[in-house]
C-alpha cells in the first residue's frame, strides 16, 4: 500500500488527507497546529504535530521513503521551501507542493517538487469552464409571439456532435436550420457534419425552449 504524507492541514490539506484516508490509503498528517491535528485524526492513520522544516523530526515520524509527499503550506513560503527540501533529502518518491504564486511555484520546482498546484487558480478555472459550458452566447429574433430564431456560438458541450445527431430536437425541442463552419454557411446537413469550437448554429423553436436552451438546460 502506498504511503502518503500530507504536510499542512489547513482547508486544502485537511480535505486531501481526509479524502485519501476515506479511500483506505495509509496517510500521515503533519501540522504544527494542534487543532488541525485533532480535526483530521479520526480520518487518517496517524496525525502528528511537528515542525516539518526539521528533517530529523520528519524522519522520526516515518516519512523517509514515503511514496507521495503533499506539501500544503500556504502563506509561510520559507517553511514550504524548507519542507520540500527535507522531503527530497528523505527520498520521498513523489513530491506535490501547493504554491501561492508563480514565483513560489518556480522555486519549489527547482528544489525538487514534482508537481506544483495552485488550488485557488484551479478552482477559478473550473468555475469559469463550468459557467461557459452551461451558458450559451446567443442572440434571438422574434418570428411571432410564440416562435424565435436563435443564433449562437457552439458551446463546448456540443463540440464533436453531429448537427443531425438529434440532440437539438430530442433534448431541447428546437430545430437546426443553418450553421456556419470554417466561415461558410450551410443550410443542408449531412450526418458527418460535426460541430467544432467556433462554429455558429441557427435554431428555430418556441420561446420557452429557446430560453431554456440559452441557459444550457
pLDDT given for residue 168 in this prediction: 82
Residues 10, 29 contacting (CB under 8 angstroms): no
Cβ atoms of 140 and 210 closer than 8 Å: yes
Q: pTM of the prediction?
A: 0.61
Q: Does the pLDDT value for residue 195 go beyond 80? A: yes
- All structural domains of the chain with their residue ranges: 3-121, 133-214
Q: Look at residue 130 in the predicted model and tell me its pLDDT.
A: 58
Q: Rounded to whole angstroms, how far apart are CA atoms 33 and 48? A: 10
pLDDT in tens, 201-214: 999 999 888 877 76
pLDDT class of 193 with cuts at 50, 70, 90: confident
Cell 502518503 sits on residue: 4
Contact between 53 and 86 under an 8 Å Cβ cutoff? The reply is: yes
Per the listing, cell 411571432 goes with 144
Q: What is the mean pLDDT of the chain?
A: 88
What's the CATH fold of domain 133-214? Alpha-Beta Plaits (3.30.70)
Contact 4, 18 (CB under 8 A): no
At 150 the pLDDT is 87
- Please choose, from the candidates 21, 61, 63, 13, the residue with its C-alpha nearest in 3D space to the C-alpha of residue 44: 21
**pLDDT for 121:** 78
The yes-or-no answer to whether 3-121 and 133-214 have a common fold is no
Buried b (16+ CB within 10 A) or exposed e, 77-116: bebbbbbbbbbbebebeebbbbbbeeebbebbeeeebbeb
3-121: CATH number: 3.40.50.720
Place 61 in a pLDDT band, splitting at 50, 70 and 90.
Answer: very high
Amino acid at each position: 500500500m502506498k504511503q502518503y504524507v500530507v504536510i499542512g492541514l489547513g482547508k486544502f490539506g485537511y480535505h486531501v488527507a481526509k479524502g485519501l484516508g476515506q479511500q483506505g490509503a495509509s496517510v500521515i498528517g503533519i501540522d504544527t497546529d494542534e487543532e488541525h491535528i485533532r480535526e483530521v485524526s479520526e480520518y487518517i492513520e496517524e496525525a502528528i504535530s511537528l515542525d516539518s522544516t526539521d528533517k530529523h523530526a520528519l524522519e522520526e515520524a516515518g516519512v523517509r521513503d514515503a511514496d507521495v509527499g503533499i506539501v500544503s503550506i500556504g502563506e509561510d513560503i520559507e517553511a514550504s521551501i524548507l519542507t520540500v527540501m527535507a522531503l527530497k533529502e528523505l527520498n520521498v518518491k513523489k513530491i506535490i507542493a501547493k504554491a501561492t504564486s508563480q514565483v513560489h511555484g518556480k522555486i519549489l520546482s527547482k528544489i525538487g517538487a514534482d508537481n506544483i498546484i495552485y488550488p485557488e487558480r484551479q478552482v477559478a478555472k473550473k468555475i469559469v469552464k463550468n459557467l461557459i459550458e452551461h451558458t450559451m452566447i446567443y442572440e434571438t429574433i422574434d418570428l411571432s409571439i410564440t416562435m424565435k430564431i436563435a443564433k449562437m456560438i457552439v458551446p463546448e458541450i456540443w463540440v464533436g456532435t453531429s448537427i443531425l445527431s438529434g440532440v437539438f430536437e430530442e433534448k431541447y425541442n428546437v430545430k437546426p436550420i443553418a450553421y456556419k463552419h470554417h466561415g461558410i454557411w450551410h443550410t443542408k446537413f449531412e450526418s458527418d457534419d460535426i460541430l467544432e469550437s467556433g462554429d455558429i448554429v441557427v435554431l428555430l423553436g418556441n420561446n420557452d425552449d429557446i430560453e431554456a436552451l440559452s441557459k444550457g438546460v
